[in-house]
Structure 1
Amino acid sequence: MAVTRPRLLAVPGRAMPLRRLQSGHVGDYVAWLLVGTSLLGAPALPGVLGN
């Protein structure tokens, strides 16, 4: 089923740019982890620093 990729499991056209960003290599997972951590941690930084 995964080899033929029936229409039910097909990726919609609007998701293709995201699909190109994530190729499945380990470096992609590390990069997305760092991006997510930075985006979630940046708003908390002033509270942590006490400014």
Structure 2
Amino acid sequence: MAVTRSPLLAAPDRALPLRRLRSGHVEDYMVWLLVGITLLGAPALPGVLGS
């Protein structure tokens, strides 16, 4: 089962573009972390700076 993936555990076709973006390198995880922090923090920035 570790060598071949059954159809029940396979990712759906719509997830393939996201799987291609992930290479497994540490630098990729750091970039995605910074992108996530930026996307989640940007809406909160006016509230933080306005007070």
TM-score normalized with structure 1 length: 0.88
Name the % identity. 76
Q: Which runs of 5+ in 2 are unaligned?
A: none
Greater RCO structure (CA 8 Å; 6+ sep): 1
Q: Which runs of 5+ in 1 are unaligned?
A: none
Matching residue of 1:5: 5
Segments of 4+ moved more than 6 angstroms: none
Aligned length: 51
